[in-house]
């Protein structure tokens, strides 16, 4: 990663990104942050792209809740996306929580997810990591005695389809930018959706039950 714009030492880089110097050095050792431009045997300079990367790492390991290993996997896909955007997105989803359920059997490994996706009329790849994640989520709901009803599935599926269409319509045309938009959008925007849903529940409860927020 070559320098761009003004250069700064690691202490200034850490201050600009709002992180301790020790944390920045840790991210360098773990490969989450690209090395700077060497200025001596023991020092290097960094630029605004390093600041942007650190803020991204902080978001992935903070609000998004990824481990360092998961964040590294997502960032590696952004740095080296390959030629197949669909495959890259699948690997990105696989790097994100929650983990998927173990296959139930060789003939029909994810029966709940398959039934749900077929009911929604969605085209899907059984090997896509989100299929296993959906199976695990549906199984947990079943085990808790709160299975997803067809009506709820249809409403959730319709909302998700609208969001997907909105996101993909705004994907950049350049391959590398498209990968970054898709991979990071998956990682960064899903927590926003979860928070908005919970806040909408609070708003609806206040309006329906007459309580106070």
pLDDT by residue for the chain (213 residues), tens digit each?
444 457 889 999 999 999 999 999 999 999 999 999 888 877 889 999 999 999 999 988 888 888 898 899 888 888 887 777 778 877 877 777 776 667 776 678 899 999 999 999 999 988 888 899 899 999 999 999 999 999 999 999 999 999 999 999 999 888 778 878 888 888 889 889 999 999 999 999 998 887 665
Distance CA 157, CA 146 (A): 18
pTM above 0.95, yes or no: no
Distance CA 59, CA 48 (A): 17
If one counts every other C-beta atom within 10 angstroms of the C-beta of residue 125, the result is 11
Query: Which residue has 């929604």 as its token pair?
Result: 120
* 3 state DSSP class of 8: strand
């Amino acid at each position: 990663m070559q320098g761009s714009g003004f250069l700064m030492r690691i202490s200034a880089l850490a201050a600009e990104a709002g992180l301790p110097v020790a944390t920045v050095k840790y991210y360098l050792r773990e490969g989450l942050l690209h090395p700077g431009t060497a200025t001596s045997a023991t020092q290097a300079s960094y630029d605004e792209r390093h600041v942007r990367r650190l803020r991204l790492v902080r978001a992935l390991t903070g609000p998004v809740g990824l481990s360092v290993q998961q964040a590294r996997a997502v960032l590696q896909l952004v740095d080296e996306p390959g030629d197949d955007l669909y495959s890259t997105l699948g690997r990105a989803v696989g790097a994100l929580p929650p983990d998927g359920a173990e296959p139930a059997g060789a003939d029909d490994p994810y029966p709940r997810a398959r039934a749900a996706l077929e009911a929604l009329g969605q085209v899907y790849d059984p090997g896509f990591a989100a299929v296993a994640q959906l199976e695990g989520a549906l199984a947990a709901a079943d085990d808790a005695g709160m299975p997803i009803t067809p009506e709820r599935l249809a409403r959730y599926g319709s909302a998700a389809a609208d969001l997907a269409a909105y996101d993909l319509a705004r994907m950049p045309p350049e391959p590398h930018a498209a990968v970054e938009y898709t991979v990071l959008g998956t990682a960064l925007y899903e927590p926003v959706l979860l928070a908005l849903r919970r806040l909408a529940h609070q708003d609806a409860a206040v309006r329906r039950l007459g309580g106070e927020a």
